[in-house]
Amino acid sequence: MNKPELLAPAGNLEKLKTAINFGADAVYLGGSKLNLRASADNFTIEELKEGLEYAHSRGRKVHVTLNIIPHNDDLVGIEEYIAELYEIGVDAVLIADPGIFSIARAVAPDLEIHLSTQASNLNYKSALFWHKAGVKRIVAAREMSLEELKTMRKELPETCDIEAFVHGAMCMGISGKCLLSNYITGRDSNRGTCTQPCRFKYHLYEEKEQGNYDKVNESDNGMYFMNSKDLCMIEHVPELIEAGINSLKIEGRMKSAYYVASVVKAYRQAIDKYIEDPKNYKYDPRWMKELEKPSHRPYTTGFYFDEEVRQNYETSAYIHNYDMVGIVKDYNREMHIATIQQRNKVYNGDFVEVLAILGENKLIKLEDMRKENGEIIESANRPQMIFTVKCNNELKTGDILVKSKEV
């Protein structure tokens, strides 16, 4: 039984480092061109070089998305861009379009290519076609069931990897291909600027006879007919591994560093626990509790088990139970003083939870809060300000401090 790769989103350099610190084997990200998250921070070439050095020095990999469905003008400069990605050492690129694929093969024949989920690969024959053409990995369409993935794995040679989404937002369009945004707002979802009209509230009427309409939705306030729940497969990690999936992928390049850290840690623990002793593996409910803390929608297993209801018709709002309030930058063992970079307002005396890179999470009290110059303060109230607190529990650089919104 092969241990699957845990693949995490990296919306920017901080999230890349967070994903790797918390246990991701690889990250995927968008560069300056041709990726489907145009409104994410994305990476300049210099940032990408720094990210590659950070990942490679720790034995991790970096995949770059080139997965838009391009128009003619999107192809301008693509040869030079792909050549540069290859030269700086990216581990793989994700491609959905045959045109971009052919350019990549010509410009950088040794560059590993993964077929993006945007290519809507739903069967093993299509996967075989792409693999024979030079694709190393198939990113399965989200619409595939677990049984279909098992069949795909059986029919594909071992030289062809399968990557599958296991956590994060689901798209109403097949494998992300949707034109609602184009029609309603004029922004192309297949070129990275989707406005997510599937999350809008709608009123639906059925015409019984000419000029006579009956409202389909029961509520006068409208309904969220197309609003998908978020995918969550934390309870089914053994089935995913036994199905032979090579890479378990987390969605969320637009999500927070807290989201990345908590989701990566939960799946890292589940994967490692199963691989260590499959026969005695036991699901830990604490993993789900951690996944319910960062911003998310209600969870579903999507199409893996043909779940009947995958939509949340009541609201498209996120469930948001915890806020990230700081990141540990340093810890002085002798003085028991932690240096923190603020992310949300937090007060002296607050109880916060430490999302720890290593070991179990713990609750601590922030005491003796001070500015960098030693001045006593009652709160850290400026964005990204550096402050110190007294803390007898040893913290690690990169640990994340979170606070319940109910406190």
Q: Model confidence over 79-114: pLDDT tens digits?
A: 999 999 999 999 999 999 999 999 999 999 999 999
Q: Model confidence over 47-81: pLDDT tens digits?
A: 999 999 999 999 999 999 998 889 999 899 999 99
Mean pLDDT, to the nearest integer, of 168-186? 81
Chain mean position to CA 403: 22
pTM above 0.85, yes or no: yes
Tokens of 98: 């045959």
Confidence at residue 42, expressed as pLDDT on a 0 to 100 scale: 78
Pick the CATH number of 5-173+227-300 from 3.40.228.10, 3.20.20.70, 1.10.3210.10, 3.40.50.2000: 3.20.20.70
The yes/no answer on whether domain 322-404 falls in CATH 2.40.30.10 is yes
Q: Which residue has the higher pLDDT, 218 or 134?
A: 134
Confidence at residue 210, expressed as pLDDT on a 0 to 100 scale: 77
Query: In degrees rounded to 5, what are phi and psi of residue 76?
Result: -65, 125
**At a CB cut-off of 8 Å and minimum separation 6, what does 182 contact?**
188, 189
CB contact at 8 A, 98 and 118: no
Q: Model confidence over 303-359: pLDDT tens digits?
A: 999 887 788 888 888 899 999 999 999 999 999 999 999 999 999 999 999 999 999
The pLDDT of residue 395 is above 90: yes
Longest distance between any two alpha carbons in the chain, whole Å: 81
- Round to whole Å and give the CA distance between 150 and 277: 22
Distances (CA, A) of 184 to 50, 114, 147, 178, 344: 39, 32, 36, 12, 35
Q: Model confidence over 195-210: pLDDT tens digits?
A: 888 888 888 888 877 7
Q: What is the mean pLDDT of the chain?
A: 92
The pLDDT of residue 403 is above 60: yes
Tokens of 87: 């030269």
**Residue 275 parent element (H or E):** helix 257-276
Report domain extents, the chain. Answer: 5-173+227-300, 322-404
* 147-161, 275-289, 293-307: least confident range: 293-307
